[in-house]
Amino acid sequence: MGLTATAMKRTIQTYLFWGILVVMTSCSTDDGETTTVEDTRIKIAYAENPVMGAPIDTISKRIQDARDFSLVLQSHKNAFHLDANTGILTVNDPLVFDYETNPLLTAIIEYQTSDGTKELEINVQLENNDDILHFLSTSQGIYELSSPGDWIMITKEEYETLENNLSEIDYCGTTKEQYDLVISGAPDLVHRGSFTVANDNGAEIPAGSYLFAFKYDIIPQVPKINIDDTQIKVSETSVAMGFNDLGGTLPTHSIGEIHFVLKGNETPLPTIGFLGMYKDTGVWTNSQFIGEVYYYGAGNVSNLDDTVVNQKSFKYQGLATTIKQWD
């Protein structure tokens, strides 16, 4: 049964609490585009992560004699844009169209007909996609061909796109502030070799999180150009013990700042975790923070028996989230 404009405004919040209940009373012309029943509720399936300005629906094609359109209410601020003349509803803020945080978006549209002012409720049900695949650009192909557990080398721009667009991001290994500080002095020459290291600087992996990306900075003076044995390590025990491999070995890479994404992490950490790495090369360190601690052990090991206090932290960083946003 159709609702009047006044009743619709009074019951919109109640309707949102009902969840997926949708009442739709409409009929169409032969081309399936025009409805003759007024004050209806329309449900639209729509892919998440659209671009700004992407079309959602054209109200003038749905309703005969409709004109002078206005967007009177939307469930999420700035989600939609409505053209007052054409009745074309488009995406205004693409970040709102995120399945993991906003699976259902609602717009209430007011319009004029020869019978007076009417309203239409549009419910946009988002479809879940692999957000990592969507936001990658040059690395999409290799990501699609890779297997779960593979680390894929990506560009700095792709890493930053994931960092800025995926939801509920936490920085692990080093905080954003710690990693982004300009390095002063020479790199740490003592640990230029085969070591497992873990920073003890407060940048832990939150409980319930999935680690999905990693970057680190290799000093340019290392003699080894094709680095092929670096391994990401995670401990659920402590920053000094119980480290296990996360995913496979990092793909072969060279010196400089290198970026990676992990495909298909299906297992969140049940407790607070700690991020380390096995390296067989030189990694930049940062001594800007007084009192920092790191643990290390020779070779690719699980327990780190040695400690360095009031020195430097290794310049590596992981991205984690409590919301799984990939296939």
- Write the pLDDT tens digit of every residue in 162-187: 999 999 999 999 999 888 876 655 54
What is the C-alpha to C-alpha distance for residues 241 and 158, in angstroms, rounded to an integer? 32
Average pLDDT over residues 228-245: 96
pLDDT at 242: 97
Residue-wise pLDDT for 22-64, tens only, equals 333 333 333 333 333 445 899 999 999 999 999 999 999 988 8
**How many beta carbons lie within 10 A of that of residue 325, not counting itself?**
25
Please tell me the distance from the alpha carbon of residue 140 to that of residue 152, in angstroms, as a whole number.
Answer: 10
Give the predicted TM-score (pTM) of the model. Answer: 0.78
pLDDT reading at 104 higher than 90: yes
| pLDDT recorded at residue 185 | 56
Strands in 147-249 per DSSP E: 151-154, 169-172, 193-200, 210-218, 231-235, 243-245
Give me the residue label for tokens 């009177």.
Answer: 72
What distances in angstroms separate CA 230 from CA 83, 139, 212, 238, one per listed residue? 53, 20, 16, 21
Residues above pLDDT 70, as percent of the chain: 81
Residue 26: φ, ψ to 5°: -155, 160
Average pLDDT, integer, range 151-167: 96
The CA distance from 78 to 94, in Å, is 9
Phi and psi, residue 165, nearest 5°: -115, -25
Q: What angle do CA 136, 139, 142 make, to 5 degrees?
A: 125
